[in-house]
């Protein structure tokens, strides 16, 4: 995914909409742009799909940002978008 403000790319980014916007108009912002003054103008909203990642070592499901090593994945109904190793399995 790519941030509409700065162009930063990540496997998953928060979906937001402007507080005073047309209903249903959603876009994504990275955490640094969302923490800027834009926070007071945007609402976090549910995205089009849920985001999870799976550790290849212990098979636990977690947030993609919690993976130490990651690679894009595909998954059941687009819910799992990344896999890799968590900090416990890396050692």
Same domain, yes or no: 42 and 75 = no
Best-predicted range by mean pLDDT (46-50, 64-68, 74-78, 86-90) = 86-90
Q: Which whole number is the average pLDDT over 24-44?
A: 82
* 81's tokens: 């978008």
Is the pLDDT reported for residue 23 higher than 70? Answer: no
Is the pLDDT reported for residue 20 higher than 60? Answer: yes
Q: How far is Cα 13 from Cα 30, in angstroms, rounded to an integer? A: 6
Same domain, yes or no: 68 and 85 = yes
Write down the pTM of the prediction: 0.61
Is the pLDDT reported for residue 36 higher than 70? Answer: yes
pLDDT at 47: 73
Strand 52-55 to strand 42-44: parallel, antiparallel, or no bridges (unpaired)? unpaired
Domain that holds residue 73: 52-90
* 73's tokens: 């994945």
Is the pLDDT reported for residue 58 higher than 90? Answer: yes
Same domain, yes or no: 58 and 79 = yes
Same domain, yes or no: 30 and 64 = no
Domain count, the chain: 2
Same domain, yes or no: 1 and 42 = yes
């Amino acid at each position: 995914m790519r941030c509409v403000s700065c162009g930063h790319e990540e496997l998953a980014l928060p979906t937001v909409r402007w507080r005073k916007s047309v209903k249903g108009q959603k876009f994504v912002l990275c955490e640094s742009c969302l923490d800027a003054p834009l926070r007071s103008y945007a609402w976090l909203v549910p995205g089009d799909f849920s985001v999870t990642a799976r550790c290849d070592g212990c098979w636990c499901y977690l947030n993609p940002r919690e993976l130490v090593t990651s690679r894009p994945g595909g998954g059941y109904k687009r819910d799992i978008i990344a896999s890799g190793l968590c900090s416990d399995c890396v050692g």
